[in-house]
């Protein structure tokens, strides 16, 4: 055994592996609030500030150990960027594109109900 790498502590447990239900380019709708958006990034677990998290009312505060989605979002009044937990999203069944000014910078076109990420943003 390499002396530089001691055995792992058998009492440490890894967090559960949760798979993202939605993908980049997919249009989703918030489960509780009236807005929809297109996914442009996914965090496997919560990756925002503690201040942002604590600002969510405790009665609807989501668990941190699930995927969180960055959305180019829209509602009837405006467009904005949203950060939403997986538990609060549903697949959007509306076939219409999302109206957000940043879409053309990230996505090429809207086809078959989803946006295609621009080649320069793929990794």
Taking residues 20-38, report their average pLDDT. Answer: 96
| End-to-end CA separation in angstroms for the chain | 36
pLDDT over threshold 50, residue 99: yes
Confidence of residue 104 (pLDDT cuts 50, 70, 90): very high
Confidence of residue 91 (pLDDT cuts 50, 70, 90): very high
Confidence of residue 14 (pLDDT cuts 50, 70, 90): low
1-11 in b/e form (b: 16+ CB < 10 A) is: eeeeeeeeeee
**Per-residue pLDDT, 1:** 47
| Cβ proximity of 66 and 45 under 8 Å | yes
């Amino acid at each position: 055994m390499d002396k530089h790498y001691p055995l792992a502590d058998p009492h440490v447990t890894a967090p559960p592996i949760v798979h993202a239900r939605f993908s980049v380019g997919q249009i989703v709708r918030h489960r509780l609030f009236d807005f929809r958006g297109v996914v442009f990034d996914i965090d496997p677990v919560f990756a925002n500030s503690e201040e942002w998290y604590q600002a969510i009312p405790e009665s609807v505060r989501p668990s941190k150990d699930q995927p969180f989605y960055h959305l180019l979002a829209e509602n009837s009044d405006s467009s904005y960027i949203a950060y939403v937990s997986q538990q609060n999203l549903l697949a959007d069944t509306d076939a219409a594109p999302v109206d957000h000014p940043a879409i053309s910078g990230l996505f090429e076109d809207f086809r078959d109900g989803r946006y295609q990420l621009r080649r320069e943003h793929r990794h």
